[in-house]
């Protein structure tokens, strides 16, 4: 999760990426198309709840308990300015 945005020492492109990246999984969209407007609202959340599908924030918080190791791509991180 993005704790804070650090601007110092970043190039213009890195600052732009920092500005547009979501601050956490609950702020991330379902897709670029947002399911024609349905994804942003509660429709997708209702369908997920009906089928007992965990939300992304919930899955991320459960991951360490289940022994999941998350490894970020160092090259992608450096391109978008994440140290």
Give domain status of residue 7, yes or no: no
Question: Is 70 exceeded by the pLDDT of residue 78?
Answer: yes
Give domain status of residue 6, yes or no: no
- Domain membership of residue 47 as a residue range: 12-17+31-80
pLDDT in tens, 18-77: 777 766 666 666 555 555 555 555 667 777 788 898 888 888 889 999 999 988 888 888
Give domain status of residue 26, yes or no: no
CA–CA gap between residue 53 and residue 77 (Å, rounded) = 29
Q: pTM of the predicted model, to two decimals? A: 0.47
Tell me how far apart the 2 most distant CA atoms of the chain are, in Å.
46
Give domain status of residue 60, yes or no: yes
Give domain status of residue 2, yes or no: no
Specify the pLDDT at position 64.
Answer: 92
Whether the CA torsion 56, 29, 32, 1 is positive or negative: it is negative
Give domain status of residue 24, yes or no: no
CB 22 within 8 A of CB 2: yes
How many structural domains does the chain have? 1
């Amino acid at each position: 999760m993005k704790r804070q945005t650090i601007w110092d020492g970043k190039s213009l492109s890195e600052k732009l990426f920092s500005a547009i990246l979501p601050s956490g999984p609950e702020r991330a969209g379902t897709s670029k198309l947002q399911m024609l407007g349905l994804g942003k609202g509660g429709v997708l959340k209702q369908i997920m709840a009906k089928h007992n599908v965990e939300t992304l924030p919930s899955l991320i918080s459960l991951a360490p308990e289940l022994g999941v190791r998350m490894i970020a791509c160092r090259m992608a991180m450096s391109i978008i300015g994440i140290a």
